[in-house]
Structure 1
Amino acid sequence: MDLDDRSRVHWRGGGSDFWPDDRGWRRRLVIALMLVGLLASLGLHVAIGWADALGALTFAQRLVGVLFLLAGVVEGIALPAVVDHWGRRQVRLSGALVLLGVLMTLATTSLLLFLWLQEREYIATVLIFLGLWLWSLWALHALIRDKVWRGIPHPRKFALGVTVTALMTAVSLGYSILYQPIAAPMHFVLRAEFGTPRTDSGSPYVHVPLVLYAKNDGGIPVYIVIDDYTVTGSLAKFSGSGDGLKEWKGDQEGGWWNPEAEAYRSDVTYEVVASGQFQGPGSTLDAGEEFKMEKVITLPKSTKYETLNADLQFAILRQDRGKIDDEFYNPKLSWIKSEGRYYCPPDECGEHVIYHGRVRYNTNLINVTRKPRYVAAFWAPEEAPDVFISSFNFKKEKKNQSIYGIYQGLDEGEVSREAERYGLVWASVNSEVSVRGLLKQAR
């Protein structure tokens, strides 16, 4: 109805723009607090949802990002509704819109605080979550005191719609964060095969082809965090007494032992013949994709090696659980002083190629409730490659440490937990051939 139509409405002491017994400063304070809280909540929803809506790997994860962006839109619509509800109330649903925005803030901040409590790591953003959570409780109390549901045409349907939306969001979150990464299997086909050697009568060398092959035969694309192929030659003495089986216990004082033993082989030693990287750290292997590399190993015809062993191994990280930032792809050389915080004197740390960068979880909800996580990988031609994920960030006060010193300063529980969360696992294959048999095949 037209409140200014004097034939229908009679005002005593003022008109439609006058609030009887109005405490204007209190209304303006409530409006200001409501606007600040909704603006902060809008920014939080957009910050969480934007990265997932545009860059998430799976449809479910992108859907979660879109839901957060839509929640941000609702928060934006609620901003003018605040001014109207505590103003002239020209829109009947203004109170309901504000109530919806406050309920979304309460639900989101409650979820964020719940996720934060799982780790209880100190981060500055937890103060924002806690502040918005307390604000939403105050705002909800103020709206209930005003009985804003009286302006809703069908309050039960409104409540049902809010409940269904919250349940759909919870199901989507649970599916994308928990179920899907666990249920999706991984499977790889790996091969390391020696080919037919080639030589000529005037050459003292034999060229042995080596074919390395990997195929992602599962349904999940992965990152290859670090990879390595190593060819070793074995030397051994003949044990006519058959005492070779007793040597499996190795060094008793050092706790070393050998999982293999042969009765007529003794004092087995291995020498690295060739070593290198396969596809390369930071590369990807999508579902159904394969990668093949051929190398030529050079041996002297007079070699004393009994066997050649080829090992292909790489550490993989599931893309449906995490994403590696671009900075990881740039290798750092530990023996060069210009590398800054990655430099370590070779006589103390050895010489390693280091790959280091930020790794993020598959949903931004987890990223904003945790300290940053980093993946670090180390490669050297005569050492086994190594990799770990943790909050360690090569701070300056921890420079001049070898990989072993770094590991001593890490929380083993954190390293194991992060590896499981991101699906960081190793895949490997081994192949062994007789050197004499290769030399007989040489063309």
Structure 2
Amino acid sequence: MGNRRLVVVHPPDEEGARQATIGMARRAVRSREELAGFLRENELSDDVNDPNLIEWRGGGSRTWGKSSTGPSDSASWSRWATAILMASGLLMAGVLFAIIGARDAWEALTYVGRIAGASFFAISFIALTAAVTVAADYILRRRLKFSAAVTLLAVLTVLATNLLLLFIQGVGREYTHWFVLWLGLTLWSGWALWELLHRQRVWGNMPQRKKFAVALSISALIAAANFSYTQIYKPYAAPIVITNSVKFGTPHLAAGGYIIQIPLTLHFENSGEWPAYIIAASYEVIGLKGGHARQDPRAVETWRQDIQQEKLDLNAYADPHAIPQPIIHELIVQPAYVYMEPGDSFTEERVIEIPAKNFNVIQAHSKVIAMRMDRASMTGEPGDWKEFSWKKGKAPSWVMENAEAPNDSDYVEYHIPLKYSNEILNLTRNTRYLTLWWVLGKNKEYVFKLVDNVALDGEEKTKRKTSERLRDRDRYGVVNIDSGLVQVLVASQR
């Protein structure tokens, strides 16, 4: 044979396998049949007894590891321990990723999240397939043609996936009990990779290594791009847009001139690209009473106190005795499973009745608190979210400070558990709650304010920096939208 290459079969190792080399190609073989197959793959004669073809070292063609399927010596025990540990890690990873994939494929809040769930299914399939090949190779000693490639691919995939989960958990700076599992599987993957590449040298024995490396690199790039798109770019690409408006109708006298009736129209619309939960929607009516405009202008120095009190409407002839008084505050939508798809809208009509002689000007504004449905979902029963101050006690002092209300004010509190948009975040983040306080005031000292907060359970009681509160609200796409004040003159009706 003019193209004949020298074949060297090395002594058996502690596991009973013999390394066979043909030029730069190397493979661990455990029988004459496997050696013959290796020869045929390299276009050589499969005659394992040809002395001109094969150089035997450490024993001839009859010297092989023991063929028993149970442990009988230290080498067999080592082989069985390796097989059990390898298969157990792959089986555990396969089951775990199947659970994550199943939850996201059917329950993720976005289409991209469901695609990610399908990807976890694919990873699970690779890991479980590799577990079967390990059982065939190590335990039954029936080496499959692509077992080395499948096992190596599975180990690399499990390693990369768990490193990604550890990275996500580290970025969030939060500890969950799943962290131990991610870390354990990462350490197992490192051991399995060392076992395959160093001890068994599967890379040197693997056919079509270049194609395998290219396919693995492309898969890694796709996974990295998918992660960057779904976890970084997509959540912040387009903000939630909820528009709301308030409009007064023409006031008119009723009840013999003692009552003024004012039509009020409230309009809400989701004009953005994302569906949104309407956590709360409310409107407030405020009356201004007092004298008419001053005859003499105010000095600039008198505005100092106004500015310190955040009164920025500086009018030289403003009546300093015009006192705003809350009249009505209605929670049109209270926390429940109420949502608006893009383009959805609803309108509310109200008729405001006030005493004819009490006010000169009536003002109104509406407020919406919304949350993007692709960032998180609310869980539990709405009836379990609600608590009352007269049954619970005082609210956190920072809430009343924010609402500019007395510390012993009445309020209604809604404490809503949130579920993340995908199972990866649910396993690497602690549960957060959206808490809403509807502050009412005390006695006749009306306040009517909505204060919201997103935090870990119990953390809502502590005053945090504004930047931290805004960061957590932005993480879930929670927004506050105020219509701005509109007003109508009612003094002319008297």
Which TM-score tier does this pair reach, normalised by the shorter chain?
A: 0.7 to 0.9
What residue identity is the alignment partner of 2:112? A
Q: State the shift of 1:22 in Å.
A: 6.9
Q: State the shift of 1:359 in Å.
A: 1.9
Distance 2:152 2:490 in 1: 78
**1:309-328 deviation digits (Å, cap 9, x = unpaired):** 11111222222322222445
Distance 1:413 1:128 in 2: 33
Alignment of 1:319-334 (within 5 A): 319-327=373-381, 330-334=384-388
Distance 2:298 2:335 in 1: 43
Distance 2:383 2:125 in 1: 37
User: Would you say the 8 A contact 1:248–1:260 is kept in 2?
Assistant: no
Distance 1:58 1:157 in 2: 34
Q: State the shift of 1:3 in Å.
A: 4.5
Q: State the shift of 1:407 in Å.
A: 4.0
Distance 2:480 2:394 in 1: 29
What residue identity is the alignment partner of 2:156? L
Q: State the shift of 1:421 in Å.
A: 1.7
Q: State the shift of 1:119 in Å.
A: 3.3
In the other structure, the counterpart of 1:134 is: 187
The answer to whether 1:371 aligns with 2:430 is: yes
SS at match of 1:196: coil
Matched residue pairs, number? 419
In the other structure, the counterpart of 2:115 is: 63
In the other structure, the counterpart of 1:45 is: 97
Distance 2:431 2:354 in 1: 47
Return 89-98 or 64-73, whichever deviates more. Answer: 89-98
Q: State the shift of 1:425 in Å.
A: 2.0
User: Would you say the 8 A contact 2:434–2:455 is kept in 1?
Assistant: yes
What residue identity is the alignment partner of 1:309? Q
Distance 1:17 1:8 in 2: 23
Greater RCO (CA < 8 Å, at least 6 residues apart): 1
User: Would you say the 8 A contact 2:259–2:354 is kept in 1?
Assistant: yes
**1:128-160 deviation digits (Å, cap 9, x = unpaired):** 111111110001000112122355442221222
User: Would you say the 8 A contact 1:390–1:414 is kept in 2?
Assistant: no
The answer to whether 1:72 aligns with 2:124 is: yes
Superposition CA RMSD, Å: 3.1
Q: State the shift of 1:364 in Å.
A: 2.8
User: Would you say the 8 A contact 1:41–1:132 is kept in 2?
Assistant: yes
User: Would you say the 8 A contact 1:93–1:151 is kept in 2?
Assistant: no
In structure 2, do the counterparts of structure 1 residues 179 and 11 end up closer, same or farther at CA, with 3 Å as the change threshold?
same
SS at match of 1:138: helix
Alignment of 1:44-443 (within 5 A): 44-87=96-139, 88-145=141-198, 146-150=200-204, 152-200=206-254, 202=256, 204-238=258-292, 239-243=294-298, 247-250=302-305, 255-265=308-318, 266-282=320-336, 283-302=338-357, 304-327=358-381, 330-337=384-391, 343-344=392-393, 349-381=408-440, 382-391=447-456, 393-394=457-458, 406-408=461-463, 410=464, 412-429=466-483, 430-437=485-492, 439=493
Q: State the shift of 1:8 in Å.
A: 8.2
Structure 2: unaligned runs, 5 residues or longer: 1-30, 37-46, 50-60, 396-405, 441-446
Structure 1: unaligned runs, 5 residues or longer: 338-342, 396-402
What residue identity is the alignment partner of 1:371? N
In structure 2, do the counterparts of structure 1 residues 209 and 247 end up closer, same or farther at CA, with 3 Å as the change threshold?
farther
SS at match of 1:24: helix
Return 166-175 or 414-423, whichever deviates more. Answer: 414-423
Q: State the shift of 1:244 in Å.
A: 7.6
Q: State the shift of 1:78 in Å.
A: 1.6
What residue identity is the alignment partner of 1:436? A
Return 325-334 or 227-236, whichever deviates more. Answer: 325-334
Q: State the shift of 1:39 in Å.
A: 2.6
Distance 1:182 1:360 in 2: 18
In structure 2, do the counterparts of structure 1 residues 47 and 190 end up closer, same or farther at CA, with 3 Å as the change threshold?
same
Q: State the shift of 1:264 in Å.
A: 2.0
**1:100-125 deviation digits (Å, cap 9, x = unpaired):** 21111110111111122223323222
User: Would you say the 8 A contact 1:279–1:291 is kept in 2?
Assistant: no
In structure 2, do the counterparts of structure 1 residues 232 and 71 end up closer, same or farther at CA, with 3 Å as the change threshold?
same
What residue identity is the alignment partner of 2:425? I
SS at match of 2:322: strand
Q: State the shift of 1:12 in Å.
A: 5.4
